[in-house]
Amino acid sequence: MVTKHEVQRGLIEDGFRAAGTPVGAGWSWTAGPVGTDGRPQPAEFLYRERHIVVREEFVDAVTELLTAEVRTRGKAKARVVARPVTHGVRLLRLPGSLPVVDALQLVAAKFGRGVATYDYVIALSQVITGWCAAREPWPRLRGTAPVPGPVDDADAGENVRVVILDNGIDQATVNANDWLAGVVGDPDEEVVTDDSGNVRIHYAGGHGTVTAGLVRMMAPRADVRVVRAFPVAGAAFETDLVQQMEGILQSSHPDVICLPAGTRAADATGLLAFATFLQNRLSLHAGVVVVAAAGNDGANESFWPATGPGTVTVGALTRDGSARAEFTNFGGWVDVYTVGDEVVNAFPTGRYTYSEPPREGQEADFEGVAEWSGTSFSAAIVAGMIAARMWRDGLSGTDAAAALVDEAQDAPVAGVGACLLPPS
């Protein structure tokens, strides 16, 4: 039987291959493709083939090292080409004769780990490592009330700018729901109208619409923009995402950035380009906070960029908020938990085809409302809570986030940790 992670991996691999940028599958330095029992292990992450991310101060030395290696392999004219990503790191394009894994091992042996890493694939609700309870959306009847529902104060979040990095927004759904009025963004290209006028919702379609709706439940007057940051089966390369975020800081001037996506990494270096961006670029924009999903592997293992410094990491609770959702990642690196299981909100109207087991190949008609689960949605709820606290107390994004997390950590839930429950 095909597993969820195999389906998701296949969709992402096929999408990038069609775009002319093939991806590879990787395992951590301490693991590998074959387990101790001799059986194949699920890939822990995906990455861009023929490219590595390198710290700027090592670019010349790494280029010289890898060029020499290529020549020993009989490719005298092959070149290693560098291009900028963000201040502090560059992306090196490798000749086809030098696999990414070989290049990284050479660099690590010469300069140590942390000098160069993969250009990771970051995905919405990524489940590369194995079975996960987070599932595809499920239709609810037209008119079903949102869960969680809206806060009492209709002005909460006024003049606070929230940018959601997702797969875009469905404008027809915005027009049909009062609480989404004024939400703007890139179109969701996974929601398409065929030649017969029927709306088809592809894999990951509607994800950005649901996250926007959840932010508005907590902050009804927040200025919300949904950016199409994950255009390939809900995925993007780390370096492309970082460059897009640089542009967002300059053009949208966000107070809160919601990042409902992530990946595992090869080692504790994590996402080098993203971490460098947080340190060298985001730090110049005082008060801007990044809220990141903890991931849906159901494991106490690092998930990036949520694990990294400078983010508010959000895990998921069950619908009633009484326990951790079975799919959520967990551990001391998770800052706070909130509801993320069986949330209900506005969703495109149309026919959805399921890709993952146990419903793969089946179709369902959606009437503008969906139930969905995942830490993506928990991150959106906390992003909305931060926006509401900013408006209420006149705080910056980072200060509002710190205040909420401190309150939750002062009264942890036994067996769970710090929790923020929606006020409605």
Phi, psi of 103 (to 5 degrees): -60, -45
Nearest to 257 by CA among 300, 281, 290, 298: 290
CB neighbourhood size of 64 (10 A): 11
Distance CA 76, CA 163 (A): 47
Secondary structure class of 366 (helix, strand, coil): strand
Helix (H) or strand (E) holding 62: helix 59-72
Which amino acid is present at 270? G
- CA 318 to chain CA centroid, nearest Å: 20
Nearest to 70 by CA among 50, 105, 94, 90: 94
The distance from CA 52 to its chain's CA centroid, rounded to whole angstroms, is: 20
Active site members:
166, 207, 376
Q: Identify the CA nearest to 234 among candidates 207, 271, 274.
A: 207
Dist. CA 257–CA 383, nearest whole Å: 8
- The three-state secondary structure class of 76 is coil
Answer yes or no: are the C-beta atoms of 382 and 404 closer than 8 Å: yes
Partners of 40 in the β-ladder: 34
**Strand-strand pairing, 199-201 and 343-353:** parallel
Partners of 235 in the β-ladder: 123, 232
H or E segment and range at residue 291:
strand 289-293
